Amino acid sequence: MADWRLPAGILAIAALAGAGSAAWDRLRPPRTPRELFQRRCSHCHELPRMNQFGKRNMAGIVRTMRTRNGADKVITEQEAAVIVKYLEGVARW
């Protein structure tokens, strides 16, 4: 008897197509540091207004999220460096 089941990859594509553009967007790699910050950090919590923190706080905040709050499963070391640099650029003071 022939195996009539669709390959898993085709099923995944069909599911994403049915889910709309938001699902496709999650598969596309972030294009900007801002987008990287938004995607990675909102994975676990709502995004705070980062302009309320000082530049000196940014590296510590990201480090704490990765070492104590489990964000190391979502944010690589290289991504963390990009996020810190982005956040330092938007910091108010």
Distance from the first to the final alpha carbon of the chain: 70
pLDDT of residue 7: 57
Say what the pLDDT of residue 56 is: 93
One DSSP character per residue, 31-70 reads -SHHHHHHHHHTTTSPPP-GGGS-HHHHHHHHHHHHHHSS
Q: Is 50 a domain residue?
A: yes
**Model confidence over 5-54: pLDDT tens digits?**
545 555 566 555 555 555 555 578 899 999 999 999 999 999 988 778 89
Please tell me the distance from the alpha carbon of residue 58 to that of residue 54, in angstroms, as a whole number.
7
Q: In this structure, are residues 48 and 14 in contact, taking their beta carbons and an 8 Å threshold? A: no
In a domain, 70, yes or no: yes
Say if 18 falls within a structural domain: no
Domain hosting 34: range is 30-90
Per the structure, the count of domains in the chain is 1
In which element (H, E) is residue 90 found?
Answer: helix 77-90
In a domain, 64, yes or no: yes
**24 within domain boundaries:** no
Residue 72 lies in a domain: yes
